[in-house]
């Protein structure tokens, strides 16, 4: 499907209305449509006067659309709710985001929102290892286990050329002295395969085509809940993570409604809904999904969004050189 066709399809998802007289709030998001439908329904219980219109696509396409609209002098989005902090940092560095200094962040760890309060994490999505429990292969406990002889030709991972979470995962590990690009070179030498996205990884491991996969946790847990012989591992060295930040554009036409939506995203009600959708909550005191560890016990490998943004193209180039484009 061409980009234009995809964009047209996204625009056709618009107009989730609660009142013909309601003020319009335009949200550009990479979160799945079926989830956003539930999000908007819950939001409208607290803000019944706001009519929400939605454009949903991948983060890269959203950024392309936004830049094209800005170049034409006609931006449509009020709010961005996208996958990762790299893309949001790029938008911030262009001076396009509004600082929301009074956002309700008291129950949010300072590491989960921009220091200038232009964007705020809404959930925690970690990348670890999914494995097929019926494969006969040993249960992994470490990223290093994917380099062992028993994992030869049995590993699949998403490519940063297609996945935002993969960009952060690869960029973060490549920047760590304990890993570096040599880790990925060893993975490739051990027969690891790069797929397009996390969905391809999930399916290959669930079907038993591969014993191990690098994946975001909720996809693995969701597949396990459906009865597939898979389980998820949080490696001993730590996981990488994205937090699906939300932000208000300076060009927003409905700032009051945009602030209401940010307030809602950081509320306990929205965080509990995220848990129902199989995400780790970010707000303190909210219980994670059944079977998930306490978020406070997670070891997350630190990533500097500005560094990851600076090395974004190099990350994609180097990965393509190692695994093929």
Inform me whether the pLDDT recorded for 147 exceeds 80: yes
Q: Which residue has the higher pLDDT, 185 or 296?
A: 185
Inform me whether the pLDDT recorded for 91 exceeds 60: yes
30-34, 142-146, 163-167: which is most confident:
142-146
Model pTM score: 0.84
pLDDT score for 298: 92
Tally of structural domains, the chain: 2
Inform me whether the pLDDT recorded for 4 exceeds 80: no
Whether residue 172 sits in one domain with residue 77: no
Asked if 152 and 212 touch (Cβ cutoff 8 Å), the reply is no
Q: For the chain, how far is it from start to end, CA to CA, in angstroms?
A: 19
Mean pLDDT of 135-149: 98
Output phi, psi for 94, to 5 deg: -80, -5
Mean pLDDT of 119-135: 97
Whether residue 92 sits in one domain with residue 228: no
Whether residue 13 sits in one domain with residue 116: yes
Mean pLDDT of 80-101: 94
Which among 273, 280, 303, 298 is positioned nearest to 42, based on CA atoms?
A: 273
Whether residue 260 sits in one domain with residue 168: no
Residue 165 pLDDT grade (very low, low, confident, very high; cuts 50, 70, 90): confident
pLDDT score for 186: 98
Inform me whether the pLDDT recorded for 135 exceeds 60: yes
- 3-state DSSP assignment of residue 208: coil
Residue 165's contacts (CB-CB under 8 Å, 6 or more residues apart) are: 83, 84, 125, 127, 158, 198, 216, 240, 242
Residue 108 sits in which domain range?
A: 3-123+244-292
What digits encode the pLDDT tens for the residues 219-260? Answer: 999 999 999 999 999 999 999 999 999 999 999 999 999 999
pLDDT score for 325: 65
Token digits for 77? 């989005």
71-85, 130-144, 279-293, 311-325: which is most confident:
130-144
Whether residue 275 sits in one domain with residue 187: no
pLDDT score for 285: 87
Whether residue 256 sits in one domain with residue 197: no
CATH of the domain at 304: 3.40.190.10
Mean pLDDT of 277-296: 92
Asked if 166 and 300 touch (Cβ cutoff 8 Å), the reply is no
Whether residue 249 sits in one domain with residue 201: no
Chain center to CA of 20:
33
pLDDT score for 196: 86
Residue 59 pLDDT grade (very low, low, confident, very high; cuts 50, 70, 90): confident
CA distances from 271 to 133, 219, 277, 281, 302 (A): 31, 18, 10, 6, 23
pLDDT score for 138: 97
pLDDT score for 164: 82
Can you list the alpha helix ranges (DSSP code H) found in the chain? 3-11, 33-46, 59-71, 85-93, 164-174, 180-189, 198-206, 217-225, 255-265, 268-276, 305-310, 312-323
Output phi, psi for 79, to 5 deg: -130, 140
Inform me whether the pLDDT recorded for 322 exceeds 90: yes
CA distances from 88 to 70, 144, 218 (A): 16, 31, 22
Whether residue 237 sits in one domain with residue 130: yes
Whether residue 202 sits in one domain with residue 94: no
CA dihedral 149, 131, 160, 297 (to 10 degrees): -110
Half-sphere exposure at residue 124, Cβ-oriented, CA atoms within 13 angstroms: 27
CA distances from 308 to 135, 183, 311, 312 (A): 35, 18, 5, 6
Inform me whether the pLDDT recorded for 176 exceeds 60: yes
CA dihedral 111, 116, 117, 118 (to 10 degrees): -110
What digits encode the pLDDT tens for the residues 13-44? Answer: 444 433 334 589 999 998 889 999 999 999 99
Whether residue 309 sits in one domain with residue 211: yes
Asked if 217 and 127 touch (Cβ cutoff 8 Å), the reply is yes
Whether residue 311 sits in one domain with residue 183: yes
Whether residue 98 sits in one domain with residue 169: no
What digits encode the pLDDT tens for the residues 94-112? Answer: 999 999 999 999 999 998 9
């Amino acid at each position: 499907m061409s980009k234009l066709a995809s964009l047209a399809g996204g625009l056709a998802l618009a107009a989730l209305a609660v009142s013909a007289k309601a003020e319009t709030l335009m949200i550009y998001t990479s979160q799945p449509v079926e989830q956003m439908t539930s999000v908007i329904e819950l939001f409208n219980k607290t803000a019944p006067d706001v009519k929400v219109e939605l454009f949903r696509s991948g983060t890269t396409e959203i950024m392309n659309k936004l830049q094209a609209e800005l170049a034409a002098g006609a931006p449509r989005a009020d709010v961005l709710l996208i996958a990762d902090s790299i893309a949001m940092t790029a938008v911030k560095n262009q001076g396009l985001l509004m600082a929301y200094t009074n956002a309700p962040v008291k129950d949010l760890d300072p590491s989960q929102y921009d220091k200038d309060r232009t964007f705020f994490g809404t959930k925690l999505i970690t990348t670890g290892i999914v494995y097929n429990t019926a494969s006969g292969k040993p249960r992994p406990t470490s990223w290093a286990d994917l380099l062992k002889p028993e994992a030869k030709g049995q590993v699949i991972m998403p490519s940063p050329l297609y996945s935002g979470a993969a960009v952060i995962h690869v960029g973060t590990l490549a920047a760590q002295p304990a890993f570096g690009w040599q880790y990925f070179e060893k993975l490739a030498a051990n027969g690891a395969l790069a797929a397009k996205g996390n969905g391809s990884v999930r399916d290959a491991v669930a079907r038993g085509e591969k014993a191990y996969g690098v994946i975001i946790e909720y996809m693995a847990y969701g597949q396990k809940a459906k009865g597939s012989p898979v389980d998820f591992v949080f490696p001993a060295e730590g996981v990488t993570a994205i937090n699906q930040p939300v932000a208000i554009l300076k060009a927003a036409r409905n700032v009051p409604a945009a602030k209401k939506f940010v307030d809602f995203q950081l509320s306990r009600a929205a965080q509990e809904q995220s848990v129902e959708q199989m995400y780790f909550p970010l707000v303190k005191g909210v219980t994670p999904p059944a079977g998930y560890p306490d978020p406070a016990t997670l070891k997350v490998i630190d990533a500097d969004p500005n560094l990851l943004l600076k090395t974004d193209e190099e990350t994609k180039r180097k990965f393509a050189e190692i695994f093929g484009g």
